[in-house]
Amino acid sequence: MQNDIFMKWLTVMALGIFAFIAIAYPTSLPGVGQRSDGKLHVVFFDIGQGDSIYVMSPTGKQLLIDGGVDRTVMRRLSSEMGFWDKTIDYVLATHEDKDHVGGLPSVFDRYTIGTFIRTENQGENLEAHTIDDISKREGSQIVYARTGMTFDLGASTTLQILFPDIDPSMLESNTSSIIARLTYGDTSFIFTGDSPQAIERHLVEQYGDRLKSNVLKLGHHGSRTSSSEIFVKTISPEYAVVSSGKDNRYGHPHSEVVDVLQQFGIPMLNTAVEGSISFESDGQTLTRN
């Protein structure tokens, strides 16, 4: 009996110590998230054959771009966010294909979402309709993305919408993808969803050298339908990131895209090979973790 009481006492003490350390020093424990350190953090999650990108600004504001195909996103978020953290400032769904929104219902169930950024293009899968229902029920602010919109993530960190510049309701799903540019100081990222080459060329005509960024998330998981030569050349990134599944049945990334990157000497990072891919920026220098 005394041993049982002693073991219970030890358990309570251990849990108390763990809770204290987790709250006071969250970065000292694995899997309980990190405190804002005054830098921009961007993580391309290893999510299988899909997209999901986590952003934490220098002031601690959080943005999730897409949610992959299933609940895998929840495990990835738990490695970046504290278990006590129940809010995400922004969720952006580039378009409503399942490999981009399949995991978002679980995110909306677990977290309070401040603003949900989406397009008017309606997906036909169950997950897309579930997100609509949950976001409205939970009271998230719903914003339909349009060219020129900017979202403030603090410390002069901004997310700028580059596309769509029209109501995309009647567009094919991939073509309706939101394209956005994240900027902190002299460093920037471009996120492309599954946008095809026609839209890439349209952006080059509209923005030209203003598209130049340090990191390009290659469109459509490295498919030949995206990542045109003119688009990649204009952006001139230090890194190109492919979010794809290992041994995926589509053959992503396609050889045509690999050839374009090699032509311009741009390193390609693939989540299927690297696992989750992390960057941080102090506003002047971009570092791959």
The pLDDT tens digits of the residues spanning 122-157 come to 877 777 778 888 788 888 999 999 999 999 999 999
Q: The domain containing residue 16 runs over which residues?
A: 1-30
At 28, the pLDDT band (50, 70, 90 cuts) reads very low
The pLDDT tens digits of the residues spanning 190-213 come to 999 999 999 999 999 999 999 999
Q: Say yes or no: 54 and 119 in one domain.
A: yes
The pLDDT tens digits of the residues spanning 47-106 come to 999 999 999 999 999 999 999 999 999 999 999 998 899 999 999 999 999 999 999 999
At 13, the pLDDT band (50, 70, 90 cuts) reads low
More confident residue, 6 or 238: 238
CATH number at residue 266: 3.60.15.10
Q: Say yes or no: 18 and 38 in one domain.
A: no
Q: Say yes or no: 45 and 6 in one domain.
A: no
Q: Say yes or no: 61 and 19 in one domain.
A: no
Token digits of residue 162: 């580059």
| Region 270-274 average pLDDT | 97
Task: Quote the percentage of the chain above a pLDDT of 90.
Answer: 80
Q: Say yes or no: 147 and 9 in one domain.
A: no
Q: Say yes or no: 89 and 201 in one domain.
A: yes
Q: Say yes or no: 105 and 24 in one domain.
A: no
Q: Say yes or no: 110 and 1 in one domain.
A: no
Query: 175-201: buried (b, 16+ CB within 10 Å) or exposed (e) per residue?
Result: bbbbbbbbbbbebbbbbbbbbbbebbe
Q: CB neighbours of 39 closer than 8 A, spacing ≥ 6?
A: 58, 280, 281, 282
CB 143, CB 117: distance < 8 Å: yes
